[in-house]
């Protein structure tokens, strides 16, 4: 049997909390979508409640490129808090974010809202973070964000902008930006290596850790397409330790062709962490005969017969003498049961399939 495998060695140093600056922006250049400069921060597209982009000119020249031209504000000196433009920002992948500032360029038509107010979901939109006097030329409004509600947040924070004190015109918004930092949460395991490779008609998976914190178990998952994964088996973790640990698991029934194996680490609190998959390719056009486990027991030799169900199987001494016993077959495998418990040492396993005769060593414990 010819086979290939991909070996993946991951060397990861101990992870400490690190803060990385990020910006989330809504440029309003003909669209309401936003984007963030860090992969672990996501943005929601701007939405409009009680108001809408002008149906004739939804986007007009702005401070930089275009600006969204928002119409249908109430014609009142009072602020109608049921009318607003809404945006949101979210921390992703187990990281936390701290928001420090929100800025936006704003102007108005001659009869548009003269006041721009900003509120957030942190206090359920109860208080103003900013009150800005809007003129007919673009100026930048800025709000400092501080306090526990904007610090080390792992979920979503939503902002609403209100146009107040208008008499029927439009409010233009451009280059809305949120600045902050992302703090990476330390992983509970420092993974040193993760490998998967075929041995006979099985796949051996091995991994090691440098240290562990409140780690409950490791799940080995397998996929044919990197989309849907199934669990092959689980191995208990060591919990909390500063000593290097070695782990292993055997996939007894791997898929022919290419499969992808990945490690899922589960904490005591149920939190999971996924690691990069590795690929294993088994080419199964030829027959495979393998003893598993090897070393074998003195009362039973288990033989895997991949594409070799019809093979003749014999156990021989090192001098070539047949060992008396019986062979019990099932689909894809067989158990060779010696008439008497075997003496510890080396033996030969002889298999014959058609004109092919193969010999392999078996160690009996």
Q: Measure the CA–CA gap between 127 and 123, rounded to whole angstroms.
A: 7
The pLDDT tens digits of the residues spanning 23-44 come to 999 999 999 999 999 888 999 8
Whether residue 277 is found in the same domain as residue 313: no
Q: Are 20 and 217 in contact (CB under 8 A)?
A: no
Q: How far is the C-alpha of 362 from the C-alpha of 345, rounded, in Å?
A: 8
Element (H, E) at 247: strand 245-251
Say whether both 104 and 144 belong to one domain. Answer: yes
What's the whole-number mean pLDDT along residues 286-315? 85
- Report residue 142: phi and psi, to 5°: -140, 140
Q: What is the mean pLDDT of the chain?
A: 89
What is residue 314's predicted lDDT score, i.e. its pLDDT?
A: 95
Domain CATH number, residue 331? 2.60.40.10
Which of 7-16, 68-77, 178-187, 216-225 comes out lowest in average pLDDT?
Answer: 7-16
Q: Which domain holds residue 144?
A: 19-183
At 188, list the tokens: 């509970």
Alpha-carbon distance 12 to 211, whole Å?
11
Report long-range pairs for 132-138 (Cβ below 8 Å, ≥24 apart).
Answer: 132/106, 134/106, 134/107, 134/108, 134/163, 134/171, 135/107, 135/108, 136/107, 136/108, 136/109, 136/110, 137/107, 138/62, 138/63, 138/67, 138/105, 138/106, 138/107, 138/172, 138/174
Is the peptide bond between 295 and the residue preceding it cis, with omega within 30 degrees of 0? yes
What phi and psi values does residue 199 have, to the nearest 5 degrees? -135, 105
pLDDT greater than 80 at residue 185? no
Of 239, 258, 282, which residue constitutes the final position of a domain? 282
Beta-bridge partner residues of 190: 211
Q: Do 272 and 179 reside in the same domain of the chain?
A: no
33 and 175 both lie in a single domain: yes
pLDDT of amino acid 12: 37
Secondary structure of residue 5 in the 3-state scheme:
strand
Residue 313 CA to residue 305 CA, distance in Å, equals 10
| 279 vs 252 pLDDT, higher one | 279
183, 204, 238 - which closes a domain: 183
Q: For the segment 199-209, what is each residue's pLDDT rounded down to a tens digit?
A: 767 899 999 99
Instruction: For residue range 159-168, list pLDDT tens digits in order.
Output: 999 999 999 9
195 and 164, same structural domain? no
Q: pLDDT confidence of 2, banded at 50, 70, 90?
A: very low
Q: Average pLDDT for residues 303-324, to the nearest whole number? A: 90
**Same structural domain, 121 and 224:** no
N-to-C CA span, the chain: 27
* DSSP type of residue 362: E
Asked if 7 contacts 167 with a C-beta cutoff of 8 angstroms, the reply is no
- Judged by phi (left if over 0) then psi (alpha if -120 to 50, else beta), residue 184 lies in beta
Residue 325, H or E segment: strand 325-330
Is 177 found in the same domain as 118?
A: yes
Pair (311, 268) in one structural domain: no
Instruction: Give the predicted TM-score (pTM) of the model.
Output: 0.52
Among 358, 359, 357, residue whose Cα is nearest residue 346: 359
Identify whether residues 165 and 60 lie together within a single domain: yes
Of 96, 98, 157, the closest CA to residue 124 belongs to: 157
The verdict on 191 and 337 lying in the same domain is no
286 confidence band (pLDDT: 50, 70, 90)? low
Same domain, 152 and 274: no
Identify the H or E element spanning 198: strand 189-199
One domain for residues 79 and 154: yes
d(CA 322, CA 305): 20
C-beta of residue 304 within 8 angstroms of C-beta of residue 254:
no
Of the residues 183, 216, 249, the one at which a domain ends: 183
Residue 7 has pLDDT above 80, yes or no: no
Q: How many domains does the chain have?
A: 3
């Amino acid at each position: 049997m010819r086979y290939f495998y991909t070996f993946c060695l991951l060397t990861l140093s101990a992870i400490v909390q690190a803060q990385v600056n990020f910006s989330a922006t809504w440029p309003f250049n003909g669209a309401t979508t936003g984007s963030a400069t860090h992969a672990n921060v996501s943005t929601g597209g701007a939405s409009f409640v009680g108001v809408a982009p002008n149906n004739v000119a939804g986007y007009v020249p702005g401070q930089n490129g275009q600006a969204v031209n928002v119409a249908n504000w109430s014609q009142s000196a009072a602020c109608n808090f049921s009318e607003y433009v809404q945006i949101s920002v979210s921390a992703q992948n187990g990281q936390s974010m701290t928001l420090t500032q929100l800025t936006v360029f704003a102007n108005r038509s001659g009869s548009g809202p003269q006041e721009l107010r900003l509120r957030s979901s942190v206090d359920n939109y109860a208080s103003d973070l900013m009150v800005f006097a809007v003129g007919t030329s673009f100026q930048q409004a800025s709000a400092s964000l501080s306090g526990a509600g904007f610090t080390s947040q792992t979920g979503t924070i939503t902002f609403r902008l209100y146009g107040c004190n208008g008499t029927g015109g439009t409010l233009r918004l451009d280059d809305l930006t949120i600045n902050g930092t992302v703090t990476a949460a330390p992983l509970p395991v420092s993974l040193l290596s993760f490998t998967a490779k075929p041995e006979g008609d099985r796949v051996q998976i091995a991994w090691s850790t440098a240290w562990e914190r409140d780690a409950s178990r490791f799940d080995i998952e397998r996929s044919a397409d990197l989309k849907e994964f199934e669990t092959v088996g689980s191995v208990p973790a060591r919990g909390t330790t500063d000593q290097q640990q070695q782990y292993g698991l055997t996939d007894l029934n791997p898929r022919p062709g290419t499969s992808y194996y990945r490690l899922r680490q589960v904490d005591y609190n149920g939190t999971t962490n996924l690691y990069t998959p590795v690929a294993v390719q088994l080419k199964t056009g030829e027959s495979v005969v393998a003893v598993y486990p090897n070393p074998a027991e003195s009362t039973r030799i288990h033989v895997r017969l991949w594409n070799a169900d019809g093979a003749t199987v014999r156990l021989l001494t090192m001098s070539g003498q047949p060992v008396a016993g019986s062979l019990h077959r099932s689909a894809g495998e067989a158990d060779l049961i010696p008439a008497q418990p075997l003496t510890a040492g080396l033996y030969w396993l002889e298999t014959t399939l058609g004109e092919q005769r193969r010999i392999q060593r078996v160690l009996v414990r």
